[in-house]
Amino acid sequence: MGEVVGAGLIAHVPTIVLPEETRRELNHGEDSTLVSGLHRLRKEVFDVVEYDTVVVLDSHWATTVEFVVTAQQRRAGLFTSEELPRGMCRRPYDFPGDPALAHLIASKGAGHSTWITAIDDDHLPIFYATTNLWEFLGQGLPEKRWISIGVCQTADTEDNLRLGRALGDAIAESDRRVLLIASGAMSHTFWPLRQLRDHEAAGKEHIFSPEAYAADMERLEWFAEGDHARVLETMPEFSKYKPEARFGHYLMMIGALGEGDCTAPSRQYGEYENSVGTGQVHLWFDRPSAGFPRPHRTAPDPDYLRQTLDV
């Protein structure tokens, strides 16, 4: 029987892979603590915990009519970002996938009234929400498998939780010990282009609005207390501050961990930082004895079955 042995809400911002000199130029001579935080997370978790597969819930990979999970035997190549090719250019990546787990995840979609497809196409694009974190947390560990699941841009909170429930069921049915990475930001509004270069430093004063900063701080407090139920209950309020990908990366993660029944408190790696208006942080949720309950099982929705079976 498989299990989730740890999970994180992790920032993937382009800044982390820039040269240190450039990072310091952007931040008044100081380096980003998001970089040192990732190094510490690697040392304290990824180099220590016994696990087989990392599942990245990738907030940069937007699908439309279904959730998609990568199912290649291996992913390797050079990554250049379409968003910021000047800063992320021809960066090598190379890691094994986990086709068996990917197909098992996809098989659980119908049981949770959602659509999940496993894709093994070697030409499927990859995104820096996956590769940037692999560089810090997976590079040099060639036996560790990495797969990604995209966010669906037509999905709402309930859809994302359904994906998470399916993911949790698949992991439990497998023989895998899994680390989950919800790769993405908290509040996520960029400064307009003509103002953006005045807000590249990491300080909280550069977050897009005081209200967005306050909303992030409120949730950081709840995460530290393990109060995921409150985070879920207040999603409509948090949505006003445009969390990245509608916070789908976090919602999929917490859906796999038991939703509001999950009481795992966060450990923070590095400081909460600004990135051109957006709120960035690394949080890790260890598995306490009862912190990750089994995800809720739900019966298939009749409307979903009618559409799927064309009856």
Q: Write down the domain spans for the chain.
A: 3-309
Contacts (Cβ under 8 Å, ≥6 apart) of 14: 81, 83, 84, 87, 88, 128, 132
Q: CA 277 to CA 205: how far, in whole Å?
A: 9
Q: What's the rounded mean pLDDT across residues 101-115?
A: 98
Given a cut of 50, is residue 104 above it in pLDDT?
yes
pLDDT number for residue 301:
52
Q: pLDDT band for position 294 (50/70/90)?
A: low
pLDDT number for residue 88:
97
Given a cut of 80, is residue 296 above it in pLDDT?
no
Q: CA 81 to CA 257: how far, in whole Å?
A: 31
Q: What's the rounded mean pLDDT across residues 250-258?
A: 98
pLDDT number for residue 295:
60
Tokens of 236: 């409509």
Q: Which ranges constitute the DSSP H helices of the chain? A: 20-26, 33-41, 99-107, 128-137, 157-173, 193-196, 210-225, 228-233, 235-238, 248-256, 302-309
| Class of domain 3-309 as given by CATH | alpha beta
Mean of all residue pLDDT scores within the chain: 94
Report the amino acid identity of residue 108.
K
Q: pLDDT band for position 180 (50/70/90)?
A: very high
Given a cut of 60, is residue 162 above it in pLDDT?
yes
Residue matched to tokens 């496993």: 118
Contact in structure between 16 and 34 (CB atoms under 8 Å): yes
Q: Tell me the pLDDT tens digit for each residue of 119-148.
A: 999 999 999 999 999 999 999 999 999 999
Minimal CA–CA distance to 73: which of 138, 2, 124?
124
What is the SS3 string spanning 249-274?
HHHHHHHHCCHHHCCCCEEECCCCEE
Host H or E run for residue 244: none
Q: Which of 12-16, 74-78, 287-291 has the lowest mean pLDDT?
A: 287-291
Host H or E run for residue 123: none
pLDDT number for residue 310:
36
Share of the chain above pLDDT 90, in %: 92
What is the per-residue DSSP string for 184-221? S-SB--PPPHHHHTTS-S-SGGGSS-HHHHHHHHHHHH
Given a cut of 80, is residue 289 above it in pLDDT?
no
